[in-house]
Amino acid sequence: MGRYEKEFKNFLDREKKIVDSKLSKALKKRKPESLYEPGYYFIESGGKRLRPLLVLLSVKAVGGKLDKAYNAAAAVELLHNFTLVHDDIMDNADKRRNIVTIHKKYDTPTAILAGDSLVSIAYEYLLKDCNGTAKKVLSAFTKSLIEVCEGQSMDKEFELREAVSIDEYILMIQKKTAALIEMCCITGAIIGGGKEKEIKSLAKFGKNIGIAFQIQDDLLDIIGNEDDLGKFVGGDLIEGKKTFLFLRALEISKGIDKDKLLQVIQNKGIEPEHIQSYKELYQRLNVFTDAENEIKYYTNLALKSIEKLKNEKCRGFFALLADLLIKRRK
């Protein structure tokens, strides 16, 4: 795998620049500015561009041409950003990617419309690359959007429930996070002309790496630092979210520790000054290690699903991407 590291880095740098240029053109100079400028502001703030890169990697893995999928790659990033804008509104978040969120910089109605415009343009761009595969691609794209909404609804519902199982949590993130990542792999494989077996293998990779990615996100929310994350550390606890770490801690805790965790549910969150004490509680209960083991489990499932892909270099690229995701700091 090591021999592909330089090529992989060059691939990421090159394709990210192309996708960034495509995204900028998708929103720049559109009228009215009151609708499109907020979306442009958000898109230009950066981001990992993981999802468009997965589209392009999947195209490459099945032997397709990358220049036939750049619009689709931009489309999945636009869709992802739509979900972030609306997510920030629902969570009343102040920061994202080290910038003020749209609803805080402008206002909530403007943010809602900006998000809606992003998903609309996403479909516009997706159609540019569909050609004879339109029904399959649009079906995968729409299905993922439905699942993201279902997952977000489950997440909000969990905040109101006293009891949530880890299995329920995994199903929720499978919809809220992994469904979109799975769709990126499916979209790239279809546009690239992949065979049914290849499409299914890449779909499984996307689904499992998506689950690993979200648990890593949960972990970083409490062990990361604000400059890297671009948002406040401990936000999940402040909002009373039932993450993998919280549910695992609740599952294994006893006595005073369990009472302390139950207070988070009863009070619908904690005050920022209490974050450190909960971090120490998680450390004592060893849930950081449990989360890391869960991340490795789903990452290994993802890598196992693509073992039969013919393109050895692409298998190496996917392995390097998986490694990058589980070692990321933001």
- Render pLDDT for 258-304 as a digit per residue (tens, 0 to 9): 999 999 999 999 999 999 999 999 999 999 999 999 999 999 999 99
Please give the CATH number for the structural domain made up of 2-326: 1.10.600.10
Cα end-to-end distance, the chain, whole Å: 24
Residue 99 bridge partners (DSSP) = 96
- Render pLDDT for 168-181 as a digit per residue (tens, 0 to 9): 999 999 999 999 99
Residue 105: HSE in the Cβ half-sphere, 13 Å Cα cutoff: 18
Query: In the chain, what are the domain boundaries?
Result: 2-326
**Rounded to two decimals, what is the model's pTM?**
0.94
- Render pLDDT for 93-113 as a digit per residue (tens, 0 to 9): 888 888 999 999 999 999 999
- pLDDT at residue number 186: 98
CA distance 155 to 150: 9
> How confident is the model over 73-90, as a mean pLDDT?
96
Rounded to 10°, the helix 70-91/134-160 angle is 20
- Render pLDDT for 117-170 as a digit per residue (tens, 0 to 9): 999 999 999 999 988 889 999 999 999 999 999 999 999 999 888 899 999 999
Q: Which residues contact 305 (CB under 8 A, 6 or more apart)?
A: 201, 202, 204, 205, 208
> How confident is the model over 12-28, as a mean pLDDT?
95
Mean predicted lDDT score pLDDT of the chain: 94
